[in-house]
Amino acid sequence: MTEAEIYEFDLNGYILYRDLIPPADVDRMNAILDDNITLETPNHFGFAHWDPIFLELMAHPRTLHIMRTIIGDWMRLDHAYAIKLNKEDNAHDNLHGGLRSDQGEHQYQWAFGKMWNGLIVVLYALEDVNPEDGGFICVPGSHKASINTYRPAVDSHLVVNPSLRAGDMLIFTEALVHGTRQWMSANRRRSLLYKYSPGYSTWGPAENLDSLRALASSDLQRDLLRPPYVGNRTPLDFPEVTG
């Protein structure tokens, strides 16, 4: 991350990167989801086992280099799921998260010249999100708030609803107060969420990743899917970023 990007993430608790996924890959991912989603599929659902492209995205070189600054060399994937919403879906407005929430796991602090984080979310948009469409919302700067018991109304002036284009990547800390606003667009919402944590930490049950690790096609993917531990844990072998 550049100094400007670190400043933006520190200031707001989230940062947006445009056009991380090429249009052809966005189309391919949407086609895979179309082939696998049924009427019984819930609005939040697992997807990473459906095609190798999703584990490749988990280990995207540019994403990992950004996460190296945010989490460090011993990061791991904690869990992943997709979100689909239509205007007809009854998704309730909500805000959650915040500094030291979830039994204290959601952390954000600076020490020894760098940031220290708990669970971090990488959200990839597979469809455009225009102003006032709804979907992801957050309270910028709330990851450093001194009060973690207060939640503003979802229509408060403190709450933002970032606009996204298909292929964009939005990264935020779970220490940020964030949530969902009712989806208002006639078009669908479709997002992939990968959640990374430090190598010593887990939010979801670690055994849930066993089946994905069996599908991994590289040492890097397998390392990202390791269970949490500290002793003798080796850092990731980060791939080069090209282009």
Q: CA-CA distances (angstroms) from residue 176 to 9, 144, 149, 159, 183?
A: 11, 8, 13, 11, 21
Residue 232 domain-assigned (yes or no): no
pLDDT of residue 90: 73
Residue 233 maps to a domain: no
- For 34-86, the pLDDT digits (tens) are 999 999 999 999 999 999 999 999 999 999 999 999 999 999 999 999 999 98
**Domain carrying residue 149:** 3-224
* CATH number of the domain that residue 106 is part of: 2.60.120.620
* E-strand stretches of the chain: 14-17, 44-45, 76-85, 94-96, 108-111, 114-117, 120-125, 135-138, 169-173, 178-181, 189-197
Q: Please tell me which residue, 2 or 102, carries the higher pLDDT value.
A: 2
**Is 242 part of any domain?**
no
pLDDT at site 89 = 82
The answer, yes or no, to whether residue 31 has pLDDT greater than 80, is yes
Q: Is residue 229 part of a domain?
A: no
Residue whose token pair is 């949407």: 30
Q: Is residue 143 part of a domain?
A: yes
Average pLDDT over residues 150-161: 94
Q: How far is CA 53 from each of CA 28, 57, 151, 223, rounded to the nearest angstrom?
A: 9, 6, 37, 17
Please indicate, yes or no, if residue 234 is contained in any of the structural domains: no
Domain total of the chain: 1
**Is 152 within a domain?**
yes
**What is the spatial distance between Cα 15 and Cα 9, in angstroms, rounded to a whole number?**
5
Residue 133 has pLDDT above 90, yes or no: yes
Please check whether residue 67 lies inside any domain of the structure. Answer: yes
* Per-residue pLDDT tens over the stretch 171-225: 999 999 999 998 999 899 999 999 999 999 998 888 999 999 999 999 999 999 9
Place of tokens 């280099």: 65
List pLDDT tens digits, range 97-129: 887 776 667 899 999 999 999 999 999 999 999
